[in-house]
Every structure is written in C-alpha cells, then in structure tokens.
C-alpha cells in the first residue's frame, strides 16, 4: 500500500544534501561566538545592579516623558498646596448650628496656621504680633454659625 509522506519529510529529504554544509557553518559560528563572549559569573542579588537595570530599561529611553510627568505632578501638588493655604477648610461646606463650636475651632486653627506661615516667611502683610480681639460668643440658638469672630490671629489653639 502506498502511504503519502508528510510535507516535512518530503522537504527534509529534498534538502538532505545541504545538511553537512549547514552543520559546518553553525559549528563555526558557535565556536567564534564562544571565543568572543566573556565568561558570565553567577553573582548574588545586588540592589545596585537591580537599580541599574531598571534605570537602563525603564527610565533612560523615556527621559523626556518621565521629566514631563514629574513636572505635571509638581504643578498639581503645588496648586493643591496653594489652594489649601489660601482658603479656610470650611469655606465650601454648609454649616449647621450644632457645629458652631467645631467651626470656630477650625477657624482658630486656620488663622494660627496662617500666622505661623507669615512668621516663617517674614510676610510684611501679616502682623503676627497683633493683639487678639474677640467678641462675645453668641449662644448656639442664634443665627451666627461661627460663634466668636476673630479679627487677628489667635495665640492659642482653642477659644476659651
């Protein structure tokens, strides 16, 4: 019975005469590569080597992209910090009458933070040595949600 041969066997049989020449070329190439390649030693794990590989593979090819990304993050963080320093923490939240005392404390803390910032930066617009003037604290049943009104920076954290 005549069984058909697979295509692979047909092609290998057809090019069998070229096999010795191809084996000789492969052996010569492997010998030349083995002679020129340095001997690689098995070294233990090194954090510096790991950092060097990460830098070479991840950071170095894309320096401009990483630098632009870092600049964008710095702009976002500086804008957020500037907004945090210039607006009181309760400016956008409606105030309930029961939260008047806590809102007063928040205002005192915010003014203390502004005073400390002005003292650290030597800001001539702020006068941290100004005396503290307070009005009487209204009872919680009135429509004044902030309680005490502070005209200059407080010298203590909590209102008495």
- In tens, the pLDDT along 2-35 reads 778 888 888 888 888 888 999 999 999 988 888 7
In a domain, 28, yes or no: no
* Stretch 30-50: mean pLDDT: 76
In a domain, 2, yes or no: no
pLDDT at 126: 59
**What is the C-alpha separation between 154 and 129, in angstroms, rounded?**
10
Q: Which domain holds residue 134?
A: 91-160
**Residue owning tokens 């650290």:** 120
More confident residue, 100 or 11: 11
Nearest partner of 85 among 44, 125, 115, judged by Cα: 115
Inter-residue contact 90 to 106 (CB < 8 Å): yes
Angle separating helix axes 100-121 and 63-86, nearest 10 degrees: 120
In a domain, 12, yes or no: no
| pLDDT > 90? residue 156 | no
> In total, how many domains does the chain have?
2
- How many CA within 13 A on the CB side of residue 58? 6
Average pLDDT, the chain: 75
Inter-residue contact 120 to 140 (CB < 8 Å): no
For residue 150, which phi and psi values (nearest 5 degrees)?
-110, 125
Instruction: Please give the share of the chain, as a percent, with pLDDT higher than 90.
Output: 15
Residue after which a domain boundary falls, among 86, 113, 136: 86
pLDDT at 77: 94
> Same structural domain for residues 66 and 131?
no
In a domain, 36, yes or no: no
| pLDDT > 60? residue 139 | no
> Same structural domain for residues 137 and 79?
no
Inter-residue contact 102 to 140 (CB < 8 Å): no
Inter-residue contact 113 to 154 (CB < 8 Å): no
Residue after which a domain boundary falls, among 86, 117, 141: 86
**What sign results for the dihedral spanned by CA atoms 114, 137, 101, 83?**
negative
| pLDDT > 80? residue 146 | no
In a domain, 39, yes or no: no
pLDDT at 160: 45
């Amino acid at each position: 019975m005549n069984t058909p041969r697979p295509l692979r066997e047909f092609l290998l049989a057809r090019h069998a005469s070229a096999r010795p020449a191809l084996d000789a070329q492969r052996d010569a190439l492997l010998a030349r590569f083995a002679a020129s390649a340095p001997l690689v030693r098995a070294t233990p794990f090194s954090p510096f080597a790991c950092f060097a590989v990460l830098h070479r593979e991840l950071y170095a090819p894309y320096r401009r992209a990483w630098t632009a990304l870092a600049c964008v993050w710095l702009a976002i963080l500086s804008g957020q910090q500037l907004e945090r320093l210039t607006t009181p923490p309760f400016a956008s939240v409606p105030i309930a009458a029961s939260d008047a005392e806590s809102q007063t404390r928040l205002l005192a803390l915010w003014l203390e933070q502004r005073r400390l910032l002005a003292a650290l930066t030597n800001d001539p617009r702020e006068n941290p040595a100004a005396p503290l003037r307070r009005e009487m604290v209204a009872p919680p049943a009135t429509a004044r949600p902030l309680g005490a009104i502070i005209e200059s920076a407080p010298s203590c954290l909590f209102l008495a």
